[in-house]
Structure 1
Amino acid sequence: MSESSSTPASTSTQGENLERGLKNRHLQLIAIGGAIGTGLFFGSGKLTNVVGPGLLLVYALIGFVLFFVMRALGELLLSNLNYKTFGDIAKDNIGPWAGFMVSWNYWFSWVVGCVADLVAITAYIQFFWPDVPVWLPALVTAIGLIVLNLQPVKAFGETEFWFAIIKIVAILALIFVGIVLVLTGYENGDGTRAAVSNLWTHGGFFPTGITGFVLGFQLAIFSFIGMELVGTTAAETENPHRNLPRAINSILVRIVVFYIGSLGVIMMVTPWDRIDPEQSPFTTMFSNTGFAAAALVVNLVVLTSAASSANSGVYSATRMSFGLAKDGHAPKALNYTTRRGVPMKAVFFTTVFLFAAIPLLLGGDALTQAFTVVSSICSADILFTWGSIVVSYIIYHRRHPERHRASGFRMPLPRIAPWVVLAFFVFIAFTLTLSPDTRIAAILSPFWFLLLAVLWQVVKRRLQKQHRPLTSEIPMVSPREIRQHFDDAEGK
């Protein structure tokens, strides 16, 4: 570490411990739900219009790279179960300043992400109720998120379990219906026929050229935000050495089925140039085929998906602010849990910022444009979080080769893959500068990180003046203990 750490920095009056209330079925479905973000349902219409069928390759490349990020995260978490958040990983491997910046950045990225979800929820509500005031769905949803996140973690797990079930059933049903339409050569209302050849006969597989292909990455990355959610649930999951590897290893299959499978079928049934960029392509497919009732059901499904994403975001952000308080990097009051293990004050602190969606909705001309701007800011911030995981892994692998060898869940190509991933993230950051809608994220992000750097100096000097450690200590785990944890997990 670049700066010292020793004893815990803060305590709470009521409680300061989270409970391991998430079971294997919760973790597996949370992993699936996290891999199916709002961007897939709401933002993919515009993405399809920008990229064309080449979007399938964009999703494949991003998913492949993020699989390595998740493998790195899995090895880090299981090398020391005293890691509770990404901030813990960063501060232990990079330094206290990194823990501060990563934690606050991840908290902020999910707050912004939840605002994007509220924008999407408003758009879905308007499908059913066109005259609804734009502020009302955001207000009701924000209040609902407060209530949901004041329940014990087991209730969160159950909520996300059923939300994920709805997503899975809906996407698999769409894929099945789409395949039937392709096999029967169904003719859409506009005269086009459902066929596999629609992927390349409407201007080619890359109809918008290399420019459109590159621009696709800047928007597509938001769809994957939430994939790292299994990392924030590890501290509240039963038998993580058995359950976490299962959740992470199935990520590639989920991306192939839910992203490439669903959008591939959609573009076979409805050619990419007939998809309305202002609507969800899931809805457009059924609308164009004359299944109005099915389109209504799909809108209801994507509405629950956006609610699920926002719920997960509030959960992640509250756990991050709770951890910051334990380190003395946030107000001490946030380091408080109820008797049921709920960080209640952290929940209120996080959710109050969601009401920022209301002025955004009132001031925006188009919901899709508002969603694009907000989601691009979230994307820029999440790249920093993902990058911190990879940098932490590089340092961990160099400093603790014995812990790497003892692990039963090692990252593939540990000397090469992290650097490839970081180079890919630099490329993604560059693409954010190419479009006016996303350029605002590239412009604002440096100011945000500069603010975090200034705030760290303020917090650092306060802690030093009070003769307190710069962060709480994370107990070490020996290679023998790591191996024993995996052996115990395999025996259960």
Structure 2
Amino acid sequence: MAKKHENADGTLRSLSNRHVQMIAIGGTIGTGLFLGSGSTISATGPSVILIYAFMGVFFFFMLRALGEMFYSDPNHHTFVSFITKYLGPAAGNFAGWSYWIGLLFACMAELTAVGTYFQYWFPHAPLWLVELIFLGALTLLNLTAARLFGETEFWFAMIKIIAIISMILTGVFLVATHAKTPVGYASLASLTKNFKLAPNGTYAFFTAFPMVFFSFAGIEFVTITIGEAEDPHQVIKKAVNETLLRILIFYIGTLTVIMCVVPWWSVSASSSPFVQVFQLAGFATAASVLNFVVLTSAASALNSTIFSAGRHFFQLAQEAKKGSWLKKKFAKIAPNGVPARGIAISVLFALIAPILSFSNTAIEVFSMVAGATSDIFILVYVLALLAHRKYRKSSDFMEDGFKMPFYQVTSPLTIAFFLVIFFSLFFVKANIFGASLATAWAVFFGSFCYFHQRVKDKRAGK
């Protein structure tokens, strides 16, 4: 007898609306807001707010496209499966394997970050041991039940929200009292004084776009929870629609307050503006508290990546050739409703990170390759948007569904915007290697997937 809320493939719909909403918030807010916002502010000044708003709108449109497809068929575990369904198995294989490999590198990067933040308090703790302990604990959570993953993410996200709201309230208090600081006075005038759209030149302004883009990467993770959400139709609407509001509050609200307290030309590119605001308010332990926040933020990202990578590998196994080793071994769900084998194989590859911690050269190479995999995500997003266009022309299209607003205009604009971001990477010195590697991967692996599928189709007489 089937369990309550059990999917046909054996997974359980155990994630409540509360879990999914907080996972959505967690996916929206990354460590980049806490640590990396200083570099974007120092590069572009107040116009960084316009960049975040502009970028946020396009990510919102992408989520609405994904949300529309999930609303029509919430039984999919990953948005990549829609690429297979509407663009064909060759595109699906390219996107699926590319995205999964990208998730592995993201997993290793977050694992390294967790270990580094932990060493802030315990500098002599072996990095590899710290990484193994965190990876083991979060893997155990993911293997136990999807609901336990959701509960963990709920509290991880709560910590980030408390930190942001605390910073905003502290900043508002400093502005309201016109507090004197070492760099002037906290005031709304600090935001607009000496305002220029590109204060450090056009090049610095446009290099901020890729930086902001990657701070939003991972926002699509919320859609991966839909296959295991208790009420998918209600959840997907709420999670996606509130994304734009979260961007306005958490990103734009935070950046506005920071620049009112610390004039934008005084914001340090190398330190966290959060710490600067709290220290100006007299909190001596601000750096230590922020380290705790970014540690939980990195752990949250690691937790979500393990969850996502496991589901993606399970999806790849499900779509594999009937009778293949991949399908036989990994297209299975454990009795507790999780794709345990998909999670296990993903975590096994993530163990490369602790091994790399013994060599500085290996870490440098890993960082460059990890950057390239992030670039590949852009291409996968574009394929997902193209799949959505095919969905619109298919018999699956729901006229009364959760439709992408102003589709005729927003769909091609979003695709064009993502492609512009990808090609802009070739004009930013720090991103040229990653963009070149991502392009080489797309050309060679994409060609392999295409010709491999043609051979399969020919053998099958298609």
TM-score (norm 2): 0.89
CA gap of 1:363–1:439, structure 2 versus 1, over 3 A, is farther
> What residue in structure 1 maps to residue 381 of structure 2?
386
For residue 22 of structure 2, what is the amino acid of its counterpart?
Answer: L
Q: Partner of 2:334: helix, strand, or coil? A: coil
Does the 8 A contact of 1:222 with 1:376 survive in 2?
Answer: no
Maintained 8 Å contact 1:116/1:374: no
Of 331, 348, 351, which residue of structure 2 is paired with 1:352? 348
- 1:334-384 CA distances to partner (integer Å, 9 max, x unpaired)? 22221101211211211122233346555559x9x9998566434312212
* 1:61-140 paired onto structure 2 within 5 Å: 61-140=54-133
- 1:37 matched residue in structure 2: 30
Summarize the Cα distance change of 1:451–1:136 in structure 2 as closer, same or farther, 3 Å threshold. Answer: farther
Aligned to 1:246: 238
Separation in 2 of the partners of 1:466 and 1:89?
Answer: 25
Alpha-carbon distance in 2 for matches of 1:386, 1:239: 25
CA distance in 2, matches of 1:370, 1:46: 23
Measure the CA separation in 1 of the matches of 2:373 and 2:234. 31
8 Å CA contact 1:58–1:213 kept in 2: the answer is: no
**Residue 406 of structure 1 corresponds to which residue in structure 2?**
400
What letter matches 2:228 in structure 1? E
> Which position in structure 2 is the counterpart of 1:271?
263
Unaligned runs of 5+ in 1: 1-14, 471-492
Looking at structure 2, the residues matched to 133 and 267 of structure 1 have their Cα atoms a distance apart, in angstroms, of 38
User: How far, CA to CA, are the matches of 2:264 and 2:443 in structure 1?
Assistant: 41
Alpha carbons of structure 1 residues 415 and 143: separation in structure 2 relative to 1, 3 Å: same
Q: Where does structure 2 lack aligned partners over 5 or more consecutive residues? A: 1-7
Equivalent pairs, count? 451
Partner of 1:306: 298
Contact conserved, 1:145 with 1:351, CA < 8 A, in 2? no
Structure 1 CA distance for aligned equivalents of residues 107 and 13 of structure 2: 25
In angstroms, what is the RMSD of aligned CA positions?
Answer: 2.8
Shift of 1:42: 3.0
Name the SS for the 1:399 alignment partner.
Answer: coil
Do the aligned partners of residues 185 and 126 (structure 1) sit closer, same or farther apart at CA in structure 2, a change above 3 Å counting? Answer: farther
**What one-letter code is carried by the residue in structure 2 that aligns with 1:40?**
L
Answering whether residue 161 of structure 2 is matched by residue 165 of structure 1, we say: no
Aligned mates of 2:347, 2:341 — CA distance in 1: 10
Q: Which moved more, 1:125-134 or 1:289-298?
A: 125-134
AA matched with 1:182:
V
Structure 1 counterpart SS, 2:427? coil
The one-letter amino acid paired with 1:225 is A
Q: C-alpha distance in 2, partners of 1:392/1:49?
A: 38
- For 1:215, give the aligned amino acid: T
- Which of 318, 324, 336 is the equivalent residue of 1:340? 336
Amino acid in the other structure paired with 1:403? F
Distance 1:222 1:359, change over 3 A: farther
Distance 1:345 1:82 in 2: 20
Cα deviation, 1:64-120, whole Å, max 9, x if unaligned, reads: 011111111111111123433222211111111111111112212222222332343
Q: Which amino acid is 1:452 matched to?
A: F
Aligned residues of 1:373 and 1:438 also touching (Cα < 8 A): no
Find the counterpart in structure 1 of residue 422 from structure 2. 429
The 10-residue stretch of structure 1 (336-345 or 140-149) with the greater mean CA deviation from structure 2: 140-149
Q: Is the 8 A contact 2:80 2:384 kept in 1?
A: no
Contact 2:167 2:278 survives alignment (8 Å): no
Instruction: Go from structure 1 to structure 2 and tell me whether the alpha carbon gap of 1:284 and 1:257 turns closer, same or farther (over 3 Å shift).
Output: same
Mapped to 1, the partners of 2:384 and 2:183 lie a distance apart of 49
Q: Deviations over 1:145-197 (max 9, x none)?
A: 32222121011111111111111111111111111111222233x34322222
Report the counterpart of residue 322 of structure 1 in structure 2. 314
Q: CA deviation at 1:56?
A: 1.4
Q: What are the Cα deviations for residues 382-437 of structure 1, in whole angstroms up to 9, with x where unaligned?
A: 2122212211111222334x834232x11111111111001111221122122232
Residue pair 1:202, 1:273 contacting (<8 A) in 2 also: no
CA contact (8 A) 2:183 2:263 kept: no
Aligned partners of 1:374, 1:219: CA distance in 2, in Å? 17
- Separation in structure 1 between the aligned mates of residue 134 and residue 357 of structure 2, nearest angstrom: 14
Give the Å deviation of 1:59. 1.0
Alpha-carbon displacement from aligned partner over 1:284-325 (angstroms, at most 9, x marks no partner): 332355422233212211210111011101111110000100
